[in-house]
A = this chain, B = another copy of it.
Amino acid sequence: MAKLLKGAPVAAALTGELIPRAEALKRSGITPCLAILRVGERTDDLAYERGALKRCESVGIAVRRFVLPGTATQSCLMDTVEEINQDDSIHGCLLFRPLPKMLDEESACAALAPRKDADGITPASMAGIYSGFGIGYAPCTAQACMELLRYYGIEAAGKRAAVIGRSLVIGRPVAQLLMAADATVTVCHTKTRNLPELVREADLVVAATGRAEAIGPECFREGQVVLDVGINWSEARQKLVGDVDFESVEPLVAAISPVPNGVGSVTAAVLCKHVIESAERLR
C-alpha cells in the first residue's frame, strides 16, 4: 500500500499561511485581487475557475472575471489583457488555455505584464524559471508539485527524477524546479526510447503526458514517489483518471498522488500564493 499524497492538506496548509498575509495587506489598504480571463465556456476551464474562486474566497483574495465569447477576436483579447495590465487594483492574472485555435496564444501570453503573471505564462517568467534569477512566477501546476513534496517531507536533493512530458505548462518547468532543488533530472518525451527502464531508475517520477492511464506498472518499482499531474476524462470508465494507471501502480510504489484530489487540488492555492506575493511587492 503506497502512501497517498493527497492535495487537500497541502492546500489547507498553504491557505493557512496566506490568510494572515492577505489580512495584513488589507490593513495596509491593499485588497489582493486576481483577474480571471476566460475565452468561451470549456468544461475544464469552468471546473478550475470554480476551484480558484473558492480558494480565493478562503484566502481573502478578490476576483474579477473577464469572460470573452468563444468567438472573440485577437484585438478584443489583447485589449482585455492591456486593461488588466493597466488596472492597479489587479495583482495577478489567470488566463485559461488553450485558447480557441484562431487566437494567437503566444502573443496574448507575452502581452501580460510580468508582475501580474501569476501562472508563469510570459517570456519573463520563463527566463526566471530557467535561470533561477527570481523573475516572475512558475506555472502553478509545476509549483504545486514542489509544494506537495515539501508538505510530505520528500527531499529532492540528490535524488534521481524522471519527468515524463516536456510541455511548457508542466514538464519543462517542473524539471527546472526539481533541478534547482538539486535533483538529477531526466526529461522523457514521445521520442524517448526504453521509457520503462529509464523511469524505473528514478526515485521520483512526475507524470505529465496528458494521456489517460498511459503509464503502466512496467515503469515502476518499489520505493518510488510518483506525482501524477494528468487529469483526463476516461469515457470507458466514466470518471477522471491520471496519466498513471493508478490501480496497477499504487501497490508497487512507496507514495503516489491520486487523481483527482492530488496535485490538482494544490494548484489554486499556489495561484493564491502568487497573487499575495505580487500584492506584497507593492507595499
> Which A residues fall within an 8 A CB radius of B?
106, 123-124, 126-131, 133, 135, 157-158, 160, 166, 168, 172, 176, 179, 182, 184-189, 191-193, 198, 201
Contact = CB atoms under 8 A, between A and B. Distances in A.
Contact of A172 (B106, B130, B188, B192): B130
15 contacts: A123-B123, A123-B133, A127-B127, A127-B130, A130-B172, A130-B176, A131-B168, A157-B191, A160-B198, A166-B179, A182-B189, A184-B187, A184-B188, A184-B189, A184-B191
Contacts of A193: 158, 160, 184
Contacts of A128: 123
Contact of A124 (B127, B172, B176): B127
Given A160-B193, A184-B198, 18 more contacts: A123-B123, A123-B124, A123-B127, A123-B131, A123-B135, A126-B126, A126-B127, A126-B131, A130-B130, A157-B191, A158-B192, A160-B198, A179-B189, A182-B189, A184-B187, A184-B192, A185-B186, A185-B187
A186 to B, nearest CB: 4
Give this chain's copy count.
2
Nearest to A171: B179
Contacts of A191: 157-158, 182, 184
A157 B133 CA distance: 30
A127 B173 CA distance: 12
Contacts of A168: 131
A182 B166 CA distance: 10
A160 B193 CA distance: 8
B133 A106 contact: yes
B184 A179 contact: no
Contacts of A192: 158, 184
Contacts of A189: 179, 182, 184
A140 to B, nearest CB: 17
Contacts of A186: 184-186
A187 B198 contact: no
A157 B198 CA distance: 16
Contacts of A106: 133
